[in-house]
Amino acid sequence: MDKAIKLRFYKDRIFKSGIILLTVLSTLPLLLILFYIVKQGITSINWDFFINLPKPVGEKGGGIINALIGSGIIVFCASLMAIPFGALAGLYLSEYNRDKLAYWVGLCVDVLQGIPSIVLGIIIYLWVVKPTGHFSALSGSIALAIMMLPPIIKSTEETLKLIPVTIKEASLALGVPYYKTILRIILPMGLNGILSGSILSISRVAGETAPLLFTAFGNPFINTNILKPMSSLPLLIYNYAGSAYEDWHKLAWGASFVLIMSILFLNLVTKILERRWRIQF
């Protein structure tokens, strides 16, 4: 073989190996974190862990039922608020992308995405917790809902933008009114993107601690009243991991394990949804 060509061949090989090596290196931290959390957390996991309240210091065992229920309720309420608003805002941005208002809304969404979560927590503390006079799960949900908005808006907008204009025109040319065209043709076609954006944003806020510190606050007991303080997995991890007691550390590791596994699961669901429900056009 010609020497120059041989040299090229080797350069290509080295380049390719370099890329693969760096890719593996960049996923390494994630794998190590996963491994460590599983190793530390798995020993705490048993049935009692899921159905019991945390025990006082000095007593063995105890569970995280209060945080599980709390996280469920807080995230559920946040989704109820964020998904309809986010999906409609995304629809507006994709339908009226030439409007001046759409430009400013898009800009606001980008800025909103960059606001640190602790700042959001403090703002909701000032706007909701202070006027109502007490911490509440609802105020935590509001803070999380605001965090969920940008990803939902963005993914809705991007999905709907991909739908060819001619499909909308086909519906209009049949005499279908604009609002029905949106509701019956466009939104069903974008459902896939709206749902996967929503689930992804749920998995992102499920692990948020900062916005809940000044809002949902935490609660050592089971509470289902959204107007009262409520525990959540990240709050429990934050409080117990920072304590001085070995038993509480164990509880925090277990809770971390549960949290990480749920987030992984949600991400997996998103991937499956995206593949299964992909609509051809």
Enumerate residues 82-101 that contact another protein by CB under 8 A: 98
- DSSP per-residue codes, 27-85: HHHHHHHHHHHHHHHGGG-SHHHHHSPBPPTT-S-B--HHHHHHHHHHHHHHHHHHHHH
CB 105, min distance to another protein, A: 17
Name, in order, each residue with C-beta under 8 angstroms of 278's C-beta and a sequence gap of 6 or more. 192
Kindly indicate which of the ranges 12-20, 75-83, 137-145, 160-168 contains the residues binding another protein, using the contact rule CB under 8 A.
160-168
As to burial, measured by CB atoms within 10 angstroms (0-12 exposed, 13-18 middle, 19+ buried), residue 69 is middle
CB 177, min distance to another protein, A: 7
Verify binding: residue 116, another protein, rule CB under 8 A: no
Name, in order, each residue with C-beta under 8 angstroms of 146's C-beta and a sequence gap of 6 or more. 82, 112, 120, 124
Verify binding: residue 281, another protein, rule CB under 8 A: yes
Q: How far apart are CA 175 and CA 206, in angstroms?
A: 44
Closer CB to another protein, 151 or 190, in the complex = 190
The binder of another protein chosen from 53, 88, 172, 260 (CB under 8 A): 172
CB 174, min distance to another protein, A: 4
Q: How far apart are CA 31 and CA 192, in angstroms?
A: 29
Closer CB to another protein, 69 or 176, in the complex = 176
CB 67 within 8 A of CB 134: no
Q: How far apart are CA 202 and CA 184, in angstroms?
A: 26
Between the alpha carbon of residue 190 and those of residues 32, 135, 138, 211, the distances in Å are 36, 37, 29, 30
- Show the site string, 177-216: x = touches another protein by CB under 8 A, - = not: x--xx--xx--xx---------------------------
Kindly indicate which of the ranges 20-28, 35-43, 138-146, 172-180 contains the residues binding another protein, using the contact rule CB under 8 A.
172-180
Closer CB to another protein, 48 or 99, in the complex = 99
The binder of another protein chosen from 69, 88, 176, 261 (CB under 8 A): 176
Residues that bind another protein (CB under 8 A): 98, 164, 166-167, 169-177, 180-181, 184-185, 188-189, 279-281
